[in-house]
């Protein structure tokens, strides 16, 4: 498998679980009790997502740009 780089968004829910998602890979998300566990889980989820896309003949999306936007209140 070629090397891929994806942006991963990690949030902590009200129960203290970490939830990770990959915005460019719709439906690719996971959770864990620790940040480290969650990051390992999202790597597995990404691999499975890529395998499924390949099996369906779908392209693997490539991120064009990543940036942050700061909005003042």
Q: What is the CATH number of the domain that holds 34?
A: 3.30.160.250
What's the domain count of the chain? 1
Provide the pLDDT for residue 35: 98
Dist. CA 26–CA 14, nearest whole Å: 23
Measured from the Cβ of residue 42, the count of other Cβ atoms closer than 10 Å reads: 26
Please report whether residue 4 resides in a domain. no
Q: Are 21 and 32 in contact (CB under 8 A)?
A: no
* Beta-carbon-side half-sphere exposure of residue 51 (alpha carbons within 13 Å): 6
In which domain, by residue range, is 40 found? 9-55
Statement: residue 1 has pLDDT above 80: no
The chain-wide mean pLDDT, for the chain, equals 95
What does the DSSP 8-state code read for residue 29? E
Whether this model's pTM surpasses 0.95: no
């Amino acid at each position: 498998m070629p090397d891929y780089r994806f942006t991963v968004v990690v949030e902590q829910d009200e129960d203290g679980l970490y939830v990770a998602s990959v915005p460019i890979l719709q439906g690719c998300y996971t959770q864990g009790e620790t940040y480290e566990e969650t990051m390992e889980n999202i790597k597995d989820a990404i691999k499975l997502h890529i395998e499924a896309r390949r099996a369906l003949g779908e392209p693997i999306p490539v991120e064009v740009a990543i940036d942050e936007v700061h909005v003042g209140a």
